[in-house]
Amino acid sequence: MIPAAGLGTRVLPATKAMPKEMLPIVDKPAIQYIVEEAVRSGIEDILIITGRGKGIIEDHFDRAPELEAALAKPGKEKALEECLGIAGLANIFFVRQKQTLGLGHAVLMAKPFTGSDPFVVLYGDDVIMGEDPCAAQLCRAYEAYGRAAVGIKEVSAEDIVRYSSMKAAPIRDNHYLIDDMIEKPAPGREFSMFSILGRCLLTADIYPILEHTKPGAGGEIQLTDAMAELARTAGVTGVDFTGKRYDMGNKLGVMQAQVETALAHPEIGPAFRAYLKGLAGSL
């Protein structure tokens, strides 16, 4: 499931009328990279949680007959193939979160969809690029340990107060056993510098916990608060995942994603590199 109903207040005014999940990274909206990661991980059914003003997300993953007709011409084959490919990526379902009560509340919207199955949550504003898709790394951890798994990375002291902090003990390789966590820790209250960044694999055990989770930091129903209860009772696996994560929920993250993706882009990469070198020289 991809929660994409948030208001995106940190990227205003770009997100006043446009969902932050649709902010482009060179030539694709952020959420398309996320859907592609899920598909590369072997996931076939995807639920996107949307809300008011998020309708263009549905349009993006739909067929576009007028555009397809206009592209059905010699010389436009690649663009046509690309447009058709987006509509055929996966079975995509949508449900609206009627009030933005927090990420935990958004996850609860998935209950009728996932039933008793485990599921991966791919945060709609976190794009993770890498050879080995992050969601697949979490699925392998679930298969190995049979419990929920979260994607973690060490972050700076400056960042940890805005994210979450994990009480994590090494198991092996890049796997950790997490038996507690805290959302937005006050300075000095961190368990470690490991934070959940954008991906988790949950079991249906999370739903009864979410149903009684009270609003936490920022007055929102925090997914981390529910996952902390799961960690304390059943344990959660932390996966220090490989891949580069871009936070599309803040302006600097958006620019980092743009620049690094443009440098590696087959069409504009070399020209952009030359431009950037020239520009850097004049800074």
Residue ranges in the chain assigned as alpha helix (H): 30-40, 55-60, 65-71, 77-87, 103-108, 111-114, 134-145, 157-160, 206-212, 223-234, 251-264, 269-281
Using rule CB under 6 A, residue 163 touches ligand UTP:
no
Residue 195, SS3 per DSSP: strand
Using rule CB under 6 A, residue 229 touches ligand UTP:
no
Using rule CB under 6 A, residue 103 touches ligand UTP:
yes
Using rule CB under 6 A, residue 233 touches ligand UTP:
no
Instruction: Fill in the per-residue mask, 68 to 97: x = in contact with ligand UTP (CB under 6 A), - = not in contact.
Output: -----------------------------x
Binding residue (CB under 6 A) for ligand UTP from 216, 238, 243, 249: 249
Using rule CB under 6 A, residue 60 touches ligand UTP:
no
Count other C-beta atoms under 10 Å from residue 282's C-beta.
5
83, with CB counted inside 10 A (0-12, 13-18, 19+), is middle
Respond yes or no on whether the N-terminal peptide bond of residue 13 is cis (omega within 30° of 0): yes
The residues with which 129 forms a beta bridge, in sequence order, are 244
Using rule CB under 6 A, residue 56 touches ligand UTP:
no
Nearest CA to 2 out of 95, 99, 112 is that of 95
- Is residue 19 within 8 Å of residue 2, measured between CB atoms? no
Using rule CB under 6 A, residue 8 touches ligand UTP:
yes
- Is residue 202 within 8 Å of residue 118, measured between CB atoms? yes
Binding residue (CB under 6 A) for ligand UTP from 6, 151, 185, 243: 6
CB of 221 to ligand UTP, least distance (A): 8
Binding residue (CB under 6 A) for ligand UTP from 105, 147, 153, 245: 105
Residue 208, C-beta contacts closer than 8 angstroms, at least 6 positions apart: none
Total of residues contacting ligand UTP (CB under 6 A) = 20
Closer residue to ligand UTP in complex, CB, 215/235: 215
CB of 4 to ligand UTP, least distance (A): 5
Using rule CB under 6 A, residue 9 touches ligand UTP:
yes
Using rule CB under 6 A, residue 7 touches ligand UTP:
yes
Residue ranges in 88-120 assigned as alpha helix (H): 103-108, 111-114
Q: Which two tokens stand for residue 14?
A: 């770009």
Residue with CB nearest ligand UTP?
A: 6
Closer residue to ligand UTP in complex, CB, 47/71: 47
CB of 97 to ligand UTP, least distance (A): 5
Question: Interface with ligand UTP by CB under 6 A: which range of 64-72, 103-111, 148-156, 236-244?
Answer: 103-111
Q: Virtual CA dihedral for 175, 253, 42, 86, nearest 10 degrees? A: 180
Binding residue (CB under 6 A) for ligand UTP from 32, 108, 125, 139: 125
Binding residue (CB under 6 A) for ligand UTP from 39, 89, 101, 161: 101
Q: Under the rule (CB under 6 A), what is the footprint of ligand UTP? A: 3-10, 49, 97, 100-103, 105-106, 123-125, 249
